[in-house]
Structure 1
Amino acid sequence: MCGVLRIRRDLVDAIVAHARRDHPDEACGVIAGPEGSDRPERFIPMLNAARSPTFYEFDSGDLLKLYREMDANGEVPVVIYHSHTATEAYPSRTDISLAQEPDAHYVLVSTRDPHEHEFRSYRIVDGVVTEESVEILESYMFAHTGRDDTPDA
């Protein structure tokens, strides 16, 4: 494993809730964040246009609207997520072939067990899948506020 997805607990809970709600169909969506930050912030559940338990597809009109909205807000898709309803949370050949965002974290949630879920994150670049660790945070803490806190002389 290399890399790490740092994500707030409320966003993880929102992804899992969406996956459970759409089960037995696969759920899908995006978490947008400020460009260049690698910080997932805005949860955007999407409709699985395929309405399938084995495949997901973003509605092309919804996806176009989402990308225009993110561009206007200076955001990028930091996390692209979907669920697997009957298999482990690992990208399928189809998932790998559809991965078009080399900087995104591809999160998969397995809802095959009704009492537990599997939550995993990957980078998918040029067909190569690399699992990364997931660090679930209560909130994002900033090491530097950007303010000058030195007292006036």
Structure 2
Amino acid sequence: MLTLTQDLYDRIVEHARQDHPDEACGVVAGPAGTDRPERFVPMLNAARSPTFYEFDSKDLLKLYRDLDDRDEEPVIVYHSHTATEAYPSRTDVTYANEPGAHYVLVSTADKDGLGEFQFRSYRIVDGAITEEEVQVVEAY
């Protein structure tokens, strides 16, 4: 189960809605080994695409150096789907290289009347997708 604060939930959703119609992407970091998301890190979608996201390689290198310096790890890796449901695509599964992370997908298809808003979380390990419950709390 993914547990995150209302503030983090709201910030992920706001980023997804702000970048629509392009996919938004980012990370929520937390202290290594805790599985507790704490620090919101929105990233630039270098692909600037409504159907694909890609972290800029320089930004990603900077992020991982920063995580190391802070003794943090990516607890949540998130992105949005702008015209489809919040379910990992084949490409999403291929690029899922953080086996300990929660992969959050936000569908903003409701903005264009193409579907309903969704906020869903998955574990993706060795190509296997497992959906998990999301619990939103006021504070930890």
- Give the distance between the partners of 2:117 and 2:106, measured in 1 at CA: 7
Q: Is the counterpart of residue 137 in structure 1 residue 134 in structure 2?
A: no
Q: How many residues align?
A: 137
52, 55, 67: which is aligned to 2:52? 55
Segment drifting more, 108-117 vs 50-59: 108-117
89, 93, 118: which is aligned to 1:92? 89
Q: Deviations over 1:45-87 (max 9, x none)?
A: 0000000000000000000000000000000000000000000
- Give the distance between the partners of 1:77 and 1:101, measured in 2 at CA: 8
Residue ranges of structure 1 left out of the alignment (5+ in a row) = 141-153
Residue ranges of structure 2 left out of the alignment (5+ in a row) = none
Q: Deviations over 1:7-65 (max 9, x none)?
A: 00100100000000000000000000000000000000000000000000000000000
43, 47, 54: which is aligned to 1:46? 43
Which residue in the other structure is 2:72 paired with? 75
5, 8, 11: which is aligned to 1:11? 8
Q: Is the counterpart of residue 26 in structure 1 residue 6 in structure 2?
A: no
- Quote the offset at 1:110 in angstroms: 0.1
- Quote the offset at 1:117 in angstroms: 2.1
> Where does structure 1 differ by over 6 angstroms across 4 or more consecutive aligned residues?
none
Q: Percent same amino acid at aligned positions?
A: 72
TM-score scaled by length of structure 1: 0.88
TM-score scaled by length of structure 2: 0.96
Counterpart secondary structure, 1:64: helix
The structure where helix makes up a greater share of residues is 2
- Give the distance between the partners of 2:54 and 2:131, measured in 1 at CA: 22
- Give the distance between the partners of 1:79 and 1:101, measured in 2 at CA: 9
